[in-house]
């Protein structure tokens, strides 16, 4: 799914009204009606008090439409207008009048903190203060209003975006944002929903299709793409009946050091479970028995050193090399990596300590192979590209790094983001249970296993990240978050594949 910027959505709005010969007011009526339908379906006429807080722009206009429709349907509604400026939008004003003529009741005007209403915990709050037109942080009594609403225990529903958040630029005042329980967002989720500093204000959202011009949206290059099941289904390559293991690649996993051999076990097993034809693990001598005993399907090569990797040699042509988990950053390992990178012409998946070795040694950075897939968590990323001021600065710096080095960078996190030059691809699977040691090693193995099978670097990155998160979600369904460990993710890779094309369960048919 495409993620558009505020500017693009405003343009889509214009294109829609022009091309389909409808007015902005009609578009607003349609958007508000969709929100009303959503509420009506859930509330079925329940007389729970609903307080709607409207601003004076089009987001406020949406709130007025919702309020009018709810009142017409007999709901118990109170509407308020936060009158923070006189620059009311045209559609707001028309809807303001419509409320009066339809319901015979003016919304309550709020001019200061003295006008804040009393709210009970069981009431419902609808936030229509600011939408994507926010152009400065809320201040003064408006900020106080946001804080007052946040103090309430009531369920909070934001229209389009929690008020106080910018859709695609850095937050300036985290104390002036509605902490919404749910957000109904128009047409496309906003980039802010997926970034750690702002995503925490959007625990749940749903996209409401308000019918913006499909052709415009299709032609416009979005600022990011959200990768969900629908997208990855198209990546999947079916296995052929007469295929053999030689057709699914031979992955080499270079991982582990004394005390961290488990990292190589996790990566190698994940590569196998993802479907690689053959997997060889290259480990320090001390890892030999551990690997042979724990994964009979994996072949093992060892370094001449017992404790760490010092010279990576092998007697076959790997289809891909996944390198880094648990290898440490000792100088002998750095030297081995530099040699590997400069002498080997196969695709690389580079993770963990291999990234730290690159960041700490300019000479290794210089031989970083083009088209590699780098999978840093934010700590590793910081070592690679330097510090950033906010999430957007982080993305810009990562884009620059990706372009300069010609590599894919997967920034891991709650929503891992693959950065390929200027393009951003946002993963939509995973859960906080996966914040546990070794889950990144599993991901390295999975992406390596996919490249081995012939998926190109970008597809392998996106598909691997999706499956990793989906497998993690399936573990969480049975074990919960806390008990989830990295090995469990591997055990559910198969289920994550099966789930790609699983049909939703059918209701039993009545005779
Ligand atoms: N194409 C779309 O996406 C559609 C958008 N609609 C709604 O329109 C909204 C955008 O409307 P607008 O562009 O009117 O913007 P907003 O409703 O977000 O409001 C911005 C207004 O508040 C002022 N303002 C901004 N920041 C302020 C601050 N910190 N303190 C005080 N005043 C501030 C602005 O000058 C402007 O007058 C969307 O979020 C959505 O709710 C819908 O009506 C239907 C169509
Ligand atoms: N809160 C979260 N929600 C979803 N996924 C998460 C969360 N925390 C971590 N993950 C995922 O778990 C993995 C952790 O990787 P990493 O930090 O490298 O772990 P390790 O080094 O222990 O293997 C990443 O794929 C990341 O996206
Ligand atoms: K809002």
- Rounded average pLDDT over 141-145: 97
Residue 387 in this model has a pLDDT that exceeds 60: yes
Cβ neighbour number for residue 27 with a 10 Å cutoff: 20
Segment among 150-159, 235-244, 330-339 with least mean pLDDT? 235-244
Q: Which ligand gives the minimal distance to the CA of 266?
A: 2
Q: What is the pLDDT of residue 246?
A: 86
Q: What is the pLDDT of residue 509?
A: 57
Q: What is the pLDDT of residue 191?
A: 98
- Calpha distance 500→257 (Å, rounded): 36
3-state SS, residue 373 = strand
Split at pLDDT 50, 70, 90, the class of 86 is confident
- Rounded average pLDDT over 123-135: 97
- Rounded average pLDDT over 46-74: 97
- Rounded average pLDDT over 83-101: 92
- Rounded average pLDDT over 130-157: 97
Residue 137, marked binder: yes
Residue 326, marked binder: yes
| 186 DSSP β-pair partners | 208
Model pLDDT for residues 446-490, shown as the tens digit of each residue: 999 999 999 999 999 999 999 999 999 999 999 999 999 999 999
Q: What is the pLDDT of residue 506?
A: 64
Q: What is the pLDDT of residue 190?
A: 98
Q: What is the pLDDT of residue 507?
A: 58
**Full DSSP string of 418-461:** EEETTEEEEE----GGG-STTHHHHHHHHHHHHHHTT--HHHHH
Q: Enter the tokens of residue 247.
A: 């057709």
Model pLDDT for residues 399-425, shown as the tens digit of each residue: 999 999 999 999 999 999 999 999 999
pTM of this prediction? 0.94
CB of 434 closer than 6 angstroms to any ligand 2 atom? yes
Q: What is the pLDDT of residue 84?
A: 85
Split at pLDDT 50, 70, 90, the class of 504 is confident
Residue 436 in this model has a pLDDT that exceeds 70: yes
Q: What is the pLDDT of residue 104?
A: 86
Residue 133, marked binder: yes
Residue 508 in this model has a pLDDT that exceeds 80: no
CB of 485 closer than 6 angstroms to any ligand 2 atom? no
**Full DSSP string of 167-228:** SSS--S-TTSS---SEEEEESS--GGGGSHHHHTT-SSEEEE-----HHHHHHSPPSEEEE-
Q: How many Å separate Cα 380 from the centre of its chain?
A: 19
- Rounded average pLDDT over 107-134: 96
CB of 9 closer than 6 angstroms to any ligand 1 atom? yes
CA 207 – ligand 3 centroid, Å: 14
Model pLDDT for residues 175-231, shown as the tens digit of each residue: 999 999 999 999 999 999 999 999 999 999 999 999 999 999 999 999 999 999 999
Pocket test for ligand 1, best of 5, 132, 175 (most atoms within 8 A of CB): 132
- Calpha distance 393→387 (Å, rounded): 9
- Calpha distance 478→331 (Å, rounded): 43
The pLDDT > 70 percentage for the chain reads 99
- The ipTM value here is 0.89
- 304, 285 contact by CB (below 8 A): yes
CA 352 – ligand 2 centroid, Å: 12
Residue 441, marked binder: yes
Split at pLDDT 50, 70, 90, the class of 4 is very high
CA 325 – ligand 2 centroid, Å: 13
Model pLDDT for residues 304-360, shown as the tens digit of each residue: 999 999 999 999 999 999 999 999 999 999 999 999 999 999 999 999 999 999 999
Torsion angle in degrees (nearest 10) through CA of 241, 242, 245, 247:
-100
CB of 473 closer than 6 angstroms to any ligand 2 atom? no
Residue 250, marked binder: no
3-state SS, residue 140 = helix
Q: Helical H runs in 75-162?
A: 90-103, 140-151
- Rounded average pLDDT over 44-66: 97
Q: What is the pLDDT of residue 311?
A: 97
Domains along the sequence of the chain with CATH: 2-221 (3.40.50.10260), 232-500 (3.40.1190.20)
CA 339 – ligand 2 centroid, Å: 29
Sheet order of strands, 205-208 included = 108-110, 77-82, 50-54, 124-128, 155-159, 182-186, 205-208
Q: What is the pLDDT of residue 428?
A: 97
Q: Mean pLDDT for the chain?
A: 96
Q: What is the pLDDT of residue 510?
A: 53
Segment among 98-102, 194-198, 492-496 with least mean pLDDT? 98-102
Model pLDDT for residues 260-296, shown as the tens digit of each residue: 999 999 999 999 999 999 999 999 999 999 999 999 9
């Amino acid at each position: 799914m495409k993620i558009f910027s505020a500017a693009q959505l405003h343009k889509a709005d214009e294109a829609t009204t022009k091309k389909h010969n409808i007015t902005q007011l009609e578009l607003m009526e349609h958007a508000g009606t969709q929100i009303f339908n959503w509420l009506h379906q859930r509330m079925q006429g329940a007389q729970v008090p609903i307080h709607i807080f409207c601003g004076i722009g089009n987001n406020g206009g949406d709130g007025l439409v919702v309020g009018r429709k709810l009142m017409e349907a007999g709901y118990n509604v109170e509407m308020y207008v936060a009158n923070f400026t006189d620059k009311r939008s045209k559609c707001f004003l028309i809807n303001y009048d419509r409320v009066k003529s339809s319901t015979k009741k003016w919304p309550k005007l709020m001019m200061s903190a003295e006008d804040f209403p009393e709210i009970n915990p069981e009431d419902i709050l609808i936030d229509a203060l600011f939408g994507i037109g926010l152009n400065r942080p809320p201040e003064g009594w408006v900020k106080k209003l946001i804080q007052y609403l946040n103090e309430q225990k009531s369920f909070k529903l934001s229209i389009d975006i929690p008020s106080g958040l910018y859709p695609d630029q850095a937050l300036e005042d985290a104390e002036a944002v509605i902490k919404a329980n749910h957000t109904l967002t128009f047409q496309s989720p906003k980039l802010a929903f997926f970034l750690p500093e702002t995503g925490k204000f959007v625990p749940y959202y749903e996209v409401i299709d308000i019918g913006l011009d499909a052709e415009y949206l299709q032609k416009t290059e979005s600022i990011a793409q959200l990768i969900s099941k629908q997208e990855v289904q198209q990546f999947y390559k079916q296995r052929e009946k007469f295929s053999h293991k030689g057709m699914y690649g031979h992955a080499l996993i270079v991982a582990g050091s004394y005390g961290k051999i488990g990292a190589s076990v996790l990566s190698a097993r994940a590569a196998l479970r993802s479907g690689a034809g053959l997997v060889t693990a290259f480990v320090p001598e001390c890892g030999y028995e551990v690997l042979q005993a724990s994964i009979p399907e994996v072949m093992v090569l060892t370094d001449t050193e017992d404790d760490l990797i010092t010279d990576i040699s092998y007697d076959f042509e790997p289809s891909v090399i996944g390198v880094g988990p648990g290898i440490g950053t000792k100088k002998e390992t750095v030297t081995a990596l530099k040699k590997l990178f400069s002498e080997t012409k196969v695709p690389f998946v580079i993770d963990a300590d291999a990234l730290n070795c690159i960041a700490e040694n300019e000479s290794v950075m210089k031989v970083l192979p083009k088209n590699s897939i780098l999978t840093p968590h934010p700590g590793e990323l910081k070592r690679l590209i330097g510090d950033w001021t906010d999430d957007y600065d982080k993305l810009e710096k990562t884009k620059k790094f990706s372009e300069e080095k010609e590599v894919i960078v997967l920034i891991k996190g709650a929503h891992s983001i693959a950065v390929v030059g200027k393009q951003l691809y946002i993963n939509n699977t995973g859960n906080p249970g996966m914040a546990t040691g070794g889950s990144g090693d599993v991901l390295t193995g999975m992406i390596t296993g996919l490249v081995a099978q012939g998926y190109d670097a970008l597809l392998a990155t996106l598909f691997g990240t999706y499956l990793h998160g989906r497998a993690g979600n399936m573990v969480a369904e049975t074990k919960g978050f806390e008990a989830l460990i990295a090995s469990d993710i591997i055990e559910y890779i198969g289920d994550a594949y099966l789930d790609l094309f699983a049909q939703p369960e059918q209701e039993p048919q009545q005779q």
